Amino acid sequence: MINDYRIELNSKEKEAKILSQNKIEIDGVSYTCELIQNNNAHYSLRLNNKVYEVIKVEENKNKIVILLNGFYFFCNVETVLEKKASQIVKLSEKAKHRSEVHSPMPGMVLKIKKKPGDEVNHGESVLILEAMKMENDIKSPFSGFIKDILVSEGNPVEKGAILFRLE
């Protein structure tokens, strides 16, 4: 079905079917709906007799972050077909990405405590990243060996950059 969506909502799975312009079915229950866009970020959403204000905080392809009633919802919206396709891709990428540790923030590498080949335990500090004048321990997400370290002491790193790889 082309208007049949699978939504990952803060890691919960939801189903939504758009039945017509003003009818939507969510997890098997149907509602009359009306979505009014007030500007680029602000929407009013009516379901039956209740209206919510919804803020579109950030948007990137299928991913959307919304703020509603004081709660952020991180949503990944896919049609049933897209979902099947992305599941296949995910499985093949999983093994590759698991072992990379990314920088959680822009900062400066202050000290590297390990070298390639070293054994590290889950939670053990591998390097110190300085940001906002605070020193932050970057810890190993699991036990294993350091495959390689892609940064060097005294150099800045961007958010999301790969710091080191484990195996």
Q: Which is nearer to another protein, 43 or 147 (CB)?
A: 43
Among 1, 28, 30, 31, binds another protein (CB under 8 A): 31
Q: Which is nearer to another protein, 69 or 92 (CB)?
A: 69
What is the Cα Rg of the chain in Å? 22
Alpha-carbon gap, residue 40 to 152, rounded angstroms? 42
Please list every residue from 92 through 121 that binds another protein, using CB under 8 A. 104-106, 110
Residues 6-25 as x/- pattern, contact with another protein by CB under 8 A: -x-xxxx-x-x-x-xx--x-
- Write out the H or E segment, with its range, that includes residue 156: strand 156-157
Q: Binding segment for another protein among 69-77, 86-94, 115-123, 141-149 (CB under 8 A)?
A: 69-77
Question: CB-hemisphere CA count at 13 Å for 125?
Answer: 10
Please list every residue from 33 through 62 that binds another protein, using CB under 8 A. 33, 35, 39-43, 45, 47, 50, 52-58, 62
Kindly list the distances between the CA atom of residue 41 and the CA atoms of 44, 54, 56, 64, 73, in Å, as whole numbers in the listed order.
10, 8, 5, 11, 15
Q: Which is nearer to another protein, 71 or 95 (CB)?
A: 71
Alpha-carbon gap, residue 48 to 28, rounded angstroms? 15
